[in-house]
Structure 1
Amino acid sequence: MIGYVRSLRLRLFLLILAPLLVVAVLLGIWRFTVAQTTAEALFDRGLLAAALAISRDVAISEGDALSPRTRALISDAGGGEVFYHVTGPGGIYVTGYAYPPSFRGTSAIGVPEYRLATYRGEGVRVLRMAETTTIGTMTGLTVVTVWQRLADRDAFAASLAWRAFALIGGLMATLALVVWFGVQWGLRPLNDLQEAIEQRTPDDLGLIRRPVPKEVTGIVSTLNRLFQQLDHSIQSHQAFISDAAHQLRNPASALLSLAETLPGVTDPKERRRRERALIGAARKSARLAEQLLSMERLRHGYTVPDSPFDPVEMAKEVCADLAPLALERDIDFSFSTQVGEGPVTLRGDRVLVTEALGNLVDNALQHGGPGLTQIAVTLEKVDDMLRFAVSDNGPGLPIDKAAVALSRFGQLQPGAGSGLGLAIVDEVARLHGGTVRFDPVQTGTRVVMELPLSR
């Protein structure tokens, strides 16, 4: 039940107080047992003292009844009313109550014997003691029998127990108050921490530098790390939105300019040229918007499915779609596979891998320059890795500039591309557990994307 307590203060209070309550109950049981044992010992001694006093009084008075003062003293000393019965030598009744409780057997001389019996329907504790005495002219055994109600003992034991219970209850109440307010005082640093967190805003995600107990240091460190990650994420989103707006501004302006000038063109050839330019600008804008959406989707909360597909067939489709663009520019475009015999299965997102490979080929077409005459796409199986490689004979890319080329909107020089193609390739490879690299070659550029066959 404690696990469902939402208040930390109440939770700590119960966790601390519960063991104390168990100890208090065990202590109360022990005190009750001790009270019973103490009451029995005290009352037995009282019976023995009463028996000795009666025996002495009988011996002194030579069989006369006890004085009222002696009976009162015996009763007060025993903690309750004491009954007695005395017989002299030969079993002659001497004094006391006429019918004592039944006490079978003979008693050893000078040795007190205790028994439990019933007297007038009530449980009693009986003490019987035999001594050799002389009463008048007769000498023999004098048997003194004294008894007391068990109810008096129980009442005395209950009185002792209740006093102990009252003391324990008072201590527990005091401890409960101390623990309750102690926990409240001990949790004040958490309240201060709450105030520090409440003061944070999306524009103020600075570190929490308020001193806290060492037990809360881990929480504060985790919060500070979370604030840093959140601040980095917000800055990344803002930078992405700023870059996206900047990248979309030029295509949008080009589309608007072409659309505004198109109605005034009467020459059919010029009109067709401008229509083609308008279509190209629209295609570029659509491609850029698609890449922006893909990049944002990949970077935030996307989980790659575990779906099998044929990478060879996928690569053939990509090359078949992009081959006409290469042939229009009189570029030698080739595709080859070296995956061995038998089917090859890649697990992941087929659409994303398709887009990544398409971006590699498109990157070669966009940045190959006017001297580009050859693009080769190869697919190899190396151990448990699948290697997609796109090679061209363009101007090439310095290996030390690879990090810039793989970053968002990263362009080594102004070109027709958006700077998102290789960044998307890098994200797709990372999500699939693979890598992207630039291999050093003598001529042109060789970009390699490696993906594991099993994840």
Structure 2
Amino acid sequence: MITVTRSIKWRMALWLLISVLGLGALLMLEAWQSSRQAAERAFDAQLAAAALTISEAVQWRDGVPEVIIPPAALQILATSSEERVFYAVLDADGRQLSSNWPQSPVPEALQTRLGESRSTDPVVVDQSSANGRLRLYGREVSSAGWVDQQPVQVWVGHTLSGREQLSGALFRQAVSRFLAMVVLAGVLMALTIRYVLAPLRRLRHQLRLRDADDMRPLEAQVPREIRELAETLNHLFARQRQGREDLLRFTADASHQLKTPLAGLQTTSELALRSDDPARWREALDQVHDSAARTSRLAGQLLSLARLRHIQGDSRQTPLELTALVREVALDWAGREQARHHDLGLEPLPPSPVMVVAEDWALRELLGNLLDNALHYTPAGSHISLKMYCEGNEVCLAVQDDGPGVAAEALERLSQPFERGGRQDTEGSGLGLAIVETIAQRLGGRIRITNQVPTGLSVALWLPGDRMAKEQG
């Protein structure tokens, strides 16, 4: 059952979008911090330049300070943001030499802090005032006089509106660039996804155009990531092609095998109908009976093989006591008519019970076909033995005979349907070992067919350890 989930395209787009948004959030945070820092540096540089210009205008004449604020200082502080600008020049005792502050321009703590620092280190702080938040910049300079030299403090400041406007403008520019980048990246991402998924579309188109019976390998150029998928499809097509060929060959062989006895039945019945001799009728009826029995057996084996090849799963496989099953099968076949002219025996079984996980009917069918093959393909008087033994973590079921055996080149073909090892002098159908091979595959085991020394044939089924468990105690 196929369950449809979100497409690969949307998954890639979603994860890329999440990645872009996460990275974008970090970039926006960094852009906001950078915008504020750039605005701070720009306006602090203005304050520093204005303070330096004012400090150069401070002069002492006869112990009387003279401060003339140069227009250049005010021009430096003037911006388009219309923020309020303040300045103050204080002597060493904190007296105002010049100021446009209406009251207490600089807190004493800041004056003390600037006085305790080195003269080359300015003080830059944000300060609350009646006019709102201010940015203060203070530096201490030595003024040259005719008689003495005394330090003075120069303080300049302005409101923060200009900084906020500048940082906001810088941040909006960064956001606009980022959004433009996201849109461009989205377009490129959509084109990239379409380009990357193009091999899948071509592969899908090629598969849709195929006929139902077209099992040829795929011919397409695919990227390395899709190579395994393409190779898997080719393997699937190869197995389907092989299965189709096997089915066609099986159907043709089955038709031929059924046609022969049916043609014989028709010929025998036609000859009997032309005769008025009751004895001839009796002979014809015996032939019809024998041919019908062989045809019925062939049809039964065909049904068994088809049933085994179409059974799915192992839901009916249960633990079975294998020793008792083998004993029952041997006793059953020993009493049948086919075994009357053969020496059919059962080798000593393991002393303790052996449990396997399988279907009862499947194991009986397997052993029955092995014994039936041995009875059909060995001459009267041959010795046939059924063996069961454990070796390591495996259990083996084997049927051995001392018949003529099979040519070495035909051993590998014996498990194919209608393969009779070159023997045409018997009534066998050539399906027995094919059924055995199918059951072995279903049980996860393996079949081993070997010639005996000096003569004879051995067919053994080996079941793996995960199918076997010995009872304890």
Assess same fold via TM > 0.5: yes
Shift of 1:229: 1.6
**Contact residue 402 and residue 452 of structure 2 kept, 8 A:** no
Superposed CA deviations along residues 193-218 of structure 1, whole A, max 9, x for unmatched, are: 33322232233222223333333333
Distance between the aligned counterparts of 1:241 and 1:377, measured in 2?
A: 34
Distance between the aligned counterparts of 2:413 and 2:139, measured in 1?
A: 112
1:81-92 residue pairs with structure 2 within 5 A?
A: 81-86=84-89, 91=95
Does 2:386 match 1:383? no
Q: Any unmatched runs of 5+ in structure 1?
A: none
Superposed CA deviations along residues 261-309 of structure 1, whole A, max 9, x for unmatched, are: 9999998877776655555444433322221122234345655665333
Does 2:36 match 1:32? no
| Secondary structure of 1:11's aligned partner | helix
Q: Are residues 189 and 396 of structure 1, via their aligned partners in 2, closer, same or farther at CA, if it must alter by over 3 Å? A: closer
Letter in 2 for 1:117: Q
Superposed CA deviations along residues 81-133 of structure 1, whole A, max 9, x for unmatched, are: 31234457872564413124451233439564333221226211123345566
Identity across aligned pairs (percent)?
24
Question: Which among 123, 128, 141 is matched to residue 133 of structure 2?
Answer: 123
**Contact residue 374 and residue 384 of structure 2 kept, 8 A:** no
Letter in 1 for 2:102: A
Q: Are residues 86 and 313 of structure 1, via their aligned partners in 2, closer, same or farther at CA, if it must alter by over 3 Å? A: closer
Distance between the aligned counterparts of 1:319 and 1:78, measured in 2?
A: 109
**Contact residue 130 and residue 144 of structure 1 kept, 8 A:** yes
Distance between the aligned counterparts of 2:272 and 2:317, measured in 1?
A: 49
Shift of 1:138: 12
Shift of 1:227: 1.6
Query: Which residue number in structure 2 is paired with residue 96 of structure 1?
Result: 100
Distance between the aligned counterparts of 1:321 and 1:118, measured in 2?
A: 110
Shift of 1:172: 2.8
Q: Are residues 276 and 313 of structure 1, via their aligned partners in 2, closer, same or farther at CA, if it must alter by over 3 Å? A: farther
**Contact residue 51 and residue 145 of structure 1 kept, 8 A:** yes
1:161-310 residue pairs with structure 2 within 5 A?
A: 161-253=171-263, 277-300=287-310, 302-303=312-313, 306-310=317-321
**Contact residue 310 and residue 346 of structure 1 kept, 8 A:** yes
Distance between the aligned counterparts of 1:67 and 1:226, measured in 2?
A: 91
Letter in 2 for 1:336: L
Distance between the aligned counterparts of 1:237 and 1:347, measured in 2?
A: 30
Does 2:160 match 1:160? no
Does 2:317 match 1:317? no
Q: Any unmatched runs of 5+ in structure 2?
A: 468-473
Question: Which among 428, 441, 445 is matched to residue 417 of structure 1?
Answer: 428
- Name which of structure 1's ranges 318-327 and 165-174 shifts more when overlaid on structure 2: 318-327
- Name which of structure 1's ranges 168-177 and 307-316 shifts more when overlaid on structure 2: 307-316
Q: Are residues 216 and 79 of structure 1, via their aligned partners in 2, closer, same or farther at CA, if it must alter by over 3 Å? A: farther
| Secondary structure of 1:406's aligned partner | coil
Shift of 1:351: 1.6
Shift of 1:374: 3.7
Query: Which residue number in structure 2 is paired with residue 401 of structure 1?
Result: 410
Q: Are residues 448 and 133 of structure 1, via their aligned partners in 2, closer, same or farther at CA, if it must alter by over 3 Å? A: closer
Letter in 2 for 1:407: Q
Shift of 1:247: 1.9
Q: Are residues 238 and 132 of structure 1, via their aligned partners in 2, closer, same or farther at CA, if it must alter by over 3 Å? A: same
Q: Are residues 166 and 205 of structure 1, via their aligned partners in 2, closer, same or farther at CA, if it must alter by over 3 Å? A: same
| Secondary structure of 2:211's aligned partner | coil
Q: Are residues 233 and 428 of structure 1, via their aligned partners in 2, closer, same or farther at CA, if it must alter by over 3 Å? A: same
Q: Are residues 29 and 76 of structure 1, via their aligned partners in 2, closer, same or farther at CA, if it must alter by over 3 Å? A: same
Superposed CA deviations along residues 201-259 of structure 1, whole A, max 9, x for unmatched, are: 23322222333333333332222222222111111112112222222233445566778
Q: Are residues 421 and 103 of structure 1, via their aligned partners in 2, closer, same or farther at CA, if it must alter by over 3 Å? A: same
Shift of 1:409: 0.5
Question: Which among 364, 372, 381 is matched to residue 374 of structure 2?
Answer: 364
Distance between the aligned counterparts of 1:404 and 1:116, measured in 2?
A: 97
Count of equivalent residues: 447
Letter in 1 for 2:246: S
| Secondary structure of 1:403's aligned partner | helix
Distance between the aligned counterparts of 2:341 and 2:104, measured in 1?
A: 132
Distance between the aligned counterparts of 1:441 and 1:127, measured in 2?
A: 112
Query: Which residue number in structure 2 is paired with residue 452 of structure 1?
Result: 463
Does 2:446 match 1:434? yes
Q: Are residues 97 and 286 of structure 1, via their aligned partners in 2, closer, same or farther at CA, if it must alter by over 3 Å? A: same
Q: Are residues 140 and 303 of structure 1, via their aligned partners in 2, closer, same or farther at CA, if it must alter by over 3 Å? A: closer
Distance between the aligned counterparts of 1:392 and 1:266, measured in 2?
A: 47
Letter in 2 for 1:185: Y
Does 2:8 match 1:8? yes
**Contact residue 429 and residue 449 of structure 1 kept, 8 A:** no
TM-score (norm: length of structure 1): 0.81
Query: Which residue number in structure 2 is paired with residue 74 of structure 1?
Result: 77
Shift of 1:352: 1.9
TM-score (norm: length of structure 2): 0.78
**Contact residue 87 and residue 93 of structure 1 kept, 8 A:** yes
Distance between the aligned counterparts of 1:11 and 1:359, measured in 2?
A: 55
Does 2:377 match 1:373? no
Superposed CA deviations along residues 301-349 of structure 1, whole A, max 9, x for unmatched, are: 655665333444333433443345447x851443222224333444433
Superposed CA deviations along residues 123-174 of structure 1, whole A, max 9, x for unmatched, are: 1112334556699x99976554322112332222222222222223222322
Letter in 2 for 1:317: E
Distance between the aligned counterparts of 2:312 and 2:358, measured in 1?
A: 12
Distance between the aligned counterparts of 2:285 and 2:428, measured in 1?
A: 21
Superposed CA RMSD in Å reads: 4.0
Superposed CA deviations along residues 363-395 of structure 1, whole A, max 9, x for unmatched, are: 2333345xx1344333242534334224255x5
**Contact residue 426 and residue 436 of structure 1 kept, 8 A:** no
Shift of 1:6: 3.1
